[in-house]
Structure 1
Amino acid sequence: MTTRNSPEAWDQRYAEAELVWSQEPNEFVVEYLSDLPVGKMLDLGGGEGRNALWFASRGWNVENSDFSAVAVEKFLQRAEHEGLSDLCTGTAVDATNPESCVTKPVDLAVMAYLQIPAADLAAAIATAAQSLRAGGTLFGVWHARENLEHGFGGPPSPELNPTQDELRTACDSLGLNVQTLTLRDRFFVSGGEERKAIDVVLMATT
């Protein structure tokens, strides 16, 4: 849930708001992953941990990783408030660093709106893949390149909005088995109006 800026810039953004992102999990995370058996999950670039906390509430052992230490601390505070601390680990690291996961191997790695340039995103996908056990699942959702012209929200720079081809190439280079790679419309209210965003959803297995 971070773009490729400095950790310090995102620390400031997270410190200035009670919540930068929604408290609820991403709708596509819920749609695609609700039926997975309980296990261990890693959220790369997970910000304040909305998805990780949702999994923890369902009995998963989770690790929320972000390069903003402030975001990670907010995640840990919320985990304590919700009585989920025993299931939650927080790490302040860069998603492109292959050593970023401390609880590997995991059954599931999630990336939600990790909007970074293609080369960095490929490195983050490699981090996720290396963190998975055999047969594990990688799930990602991003603002799609198509969102720039036909949707609302997300970063304005094309290089920060991945294409399906970029994501498939990254997965193919790692030997991942792509199960789902598709565009999805997401509707939300902003400024009192209903808006449509175009996301790209990826689901792959090792």
Structure 2
Amino acid sequence: MGITDTQSFSLVIRDVFFDALAGDPFFANYTKRKTKMLSVQHQLLPYLGVYIIDETMMPDGDANAGMIRFSHTLRIGFSVIIANNDQVAAELQIDAAWWRIMNRLWPDQYIMNLFDTLNPHTGQPNPDNTLIESIQRGVRRHVFGATGLNNETPVAELQYDVSAFFRTTWPPIITDDLEEIDISTGIKIGDTQAEMDQRQQFHGKYLFDISRKREPRR
């Protein structure tokens, strides 16, 4: 049983990004979180957050043809907050953090692999080989302000969000499987009993193996 039996591909992708950055030496002394549930206090700085912002699902192909298929655009937000009262140094720090995020995630040949995400060096794949087809959009912002109860801690924040694209298919769950077909030939409408007795008859049964394992939804 894999994680995507109970959790969404979107959560898996967010966790893949988070784990990659959390294990990077650049962010070793950062407080790291996956949600905005708790406020960021000055004692938690420097801070790294990787969040799910929203997700858009559009039909993959014709909406009224075949099984349900979605094209997903998942927005993941990255927040890097540092404290520094030197505005030039502060901007250099958050720019360096953004550049590190870019260099850590997008060149990764396993996270962004369209066929197989298993990393032979670590033995770790994206959970359940969850595939990201592309990064369709990115937006970066630099935000400056203050934190703390007395607003005396000058902070700089990098806000960076990306749109990750992937697909899912949702085949119907068939509960009334076709197990047997019964065929009789050689009979025509209006035949008399004598005509049916004279004509060669065929009667057969076709049995189907319904024990094959269904493929998981991807």
TM superposition score normalised by structure 2: 0.23
Larger radius of gyration: 2
- Greater fraction strand: 2
- Per the normalisation by structure 1, the TM-score is 0.24
Normalized per residue, the structure richer in helix is 1
